[in-house]
Amino acid sequence: MARRPGRPRANAEQATGRGTAQDLLDAAAALFCTVGYTSTSTYAIAERAGVRQASMYHHFAGKHAILHELLLGTVRPSLRNAELLARIDAGVPARLWALAAADVELLCAPRDNLGALYFLPELSDERFAPFRALHLALRAGYADLVGQYPGVRGEDVGELSSLAIGLVESVILRRREEPDLRADDVAPRVADAVQRLLGATPAGLAAVRAEGLALRATLPDLGVARFPQNRAARPEN
Amino acid sequence: MARRPGRPRANAEQATGRGTAQDLLDAAAALFCTVGYTSTSTYAIAERAGVRQASMYHHFAGKHAILHELLLGTVRPSLRNAELLARIDAGVPARLWALAAADVELLCAPRDNLGALYFLPELSDERFAPFRALHLALRAGYADLVGQYPGVRGEDVGELSSLAIGLVESVILRRREEPDLRADDVAPRVADAVQRLLGATPAGLAAVRAEGLALRATLPDLGVARFPQNRAARPEN
């Protein structure tokens, strides 16, 4: 495969129509998930994005800032969904179904398996504290719904919400072993599994799923719009 | 913290009483999980283990071989458990309970969170194919029990066994956010969760748990023996 040289761009917005910052994020995501975070240089990111290194520093303070932005993108939309669903007049099980389904879609949607970056040892660095705080806030959003779920006892809320998030985020490892995993196929199955975990009966689950699907349709498609899966390769222009 | 120089060892078996190979594995585990795999040199591993680099190559072909051995250690004992449980005369739910509980213990037992290494991009390399094959064999072991589970339909076996393993391996991410997670506390809870996922009722689950705990006690403690948790720091001898 020929290497494309880094090249200055008179009009950055023309390259993919998505903007320089997004092109840098896409390039970094691909490199972090294949070559690895440590082995990826800022030069390699800029080159792959077709951006000069100097332009890159106009958008990001460094490689860590690009990683941080990628990580935030895997949580922010779900946190927003949790906030929206907390205000909606609907049953708790259906709201939890919609939250879990949309969260799985977000983790499955990007071409690169960004959730794998959660396991980098670098994330214990203070610079990634905002991401860790956002992830804990998402856990709290799950715990809020689990705590109101019919039949769940107060002392089990922490454990059950950890297990519910565990089911959702298990798609990160599945994407490694099942590369053909489809978001629209796996998301409702995982959302169903969360309900069974919390004690839903088969009869009750069918009704929750129908209501949850309807709620899911009212949520913004933040993740999938931002990270189109299997999009056409960027033209070599 | 003072750096300890790499030093030759006249009698390698005396250092920790666990042998040079195990000392190298321990040192590499600590470095891979804190500094990162890419950033860890074979020199750093040898130095931390108190072994000469030349001695290291007597035990391992290189850094990749040490990573591979660490990965195999996170799967082999569970695969052996699956084989033992397949031959035991006991109910399917209890056998699955014991398999899941022991598997969670194995993932929680090592001082370092070795499961986080599953997400390294390097694992797609051909040299790690034996580990990937062993992990698929463990999935097959779960699928075998899930397929015999009362009430599970044939077409759901693949999905439900993926979700069951997902619950078990979700402890890898939990160990990052809940550093005080205790194996003996979380293992039975996750094993219970797998049963609920497969449709166990609260009444049925209590009996399965009792039988599962008894079965668990008959399994070899391979993982925990190999990776003692919170063991005393190695003496500076």
ipTM for the whole complex: 0.86
**CATH annotation of B12-70:** 1.10.10.60
CATH topology of domain B74-223: Tetracycline Repressor; domain 2 (1.10.357)
Phi and psi for A75 in degrees, rounded to 5? -125, -40
Nearest-10 Cα torsion for A134, A140, A142, A147: 180
Give the pLDDT band of residue A152 (cuts 50, 70, 90): very high
Radius of gyration of chain B (CA): 19
Number of H helices, E strands in chain B: 11, 0
Please tell me which residue, B4 or A115, carries the higher pLDDT value.
Answer: A115
Residue A78 has pLDDT above 60, yes or no: yes
Domain boundaries, chain B: 12-70, 74-223
Contact A121 B33 (CB under 8 A): yes
**Per-residue pLDDT reduced to its tens digit, A94-104:** 999 999 999 99
Residue B10 has pLDDT above 50, yes or no: no
Residue A229 has pLDDT above 60, yes or no: no
Contact A120 B166 (CB under 8 A): no
Question: Closest residue of A to B36, CA-based?
Answer: A121
Give the pLDDT band of residue A10 (cuts 50, 70, 90): very low
Residue B191 has pLDDT above 60, yes or no: yes
Looking at every residue in chain A, the average pLDDT score rounds to 88
Q: At what angle do helices A129-148 and B157-177 cross, to 10 degrees?
A: 120
Looking at every residue in chain B, the average pLDDT score rounds to 88
Least CB-CB distance to B162: which of A122, A169, A174? Answer: A174
pLDDT at B9: 52
| SS (HEC) of B172-233 | HHHHHHCCCCCHHHHHHHHHHHHHHHCCCCHHHHHHHHHHHHHHHHHCCCHHHHHCCCCCCC
- What count of Cα atoms within 13 Å lies in the side-chain half-sphere of residue A208? 29
Triad A149, B175, B80: Cα angle to 5°:
100
Collect all residues from B whose CB is shorter than 8 A from any CB in A: 33-39, 116-123, 132, 135-136, 139, 159, 162-163, 165-167, 169-174, 176-178, 189-190, 193, 196-197, 199, 202
Contact A166 B170 (CB under 8 A): yes
Class of CATH domain A74-221: mainly alpha
- Lowest-pLDDT choice from A45-59, A133-147, A213-227, B67-81: A213-227
Least CB-CB distance to B159: which of A39, A159, A189? Answer: A189
Collect all residues from A whose CB is shorter than 8 A from any CB in B: 33-39, 116, 118-123, 132, 135-136, 139, 159, 162-163, 165-167, 169-174, 176-178, 189-190, 193, 196-199, 202
Q: Choose among A223, A197, A212, A205: nearest CA to A95.
A: A212
pLDDT at A179: 83
Token pair 């490199």 is found at: A31
**Chain B CB contacts of A167 below 8 Å:** 163, 166-167, 170
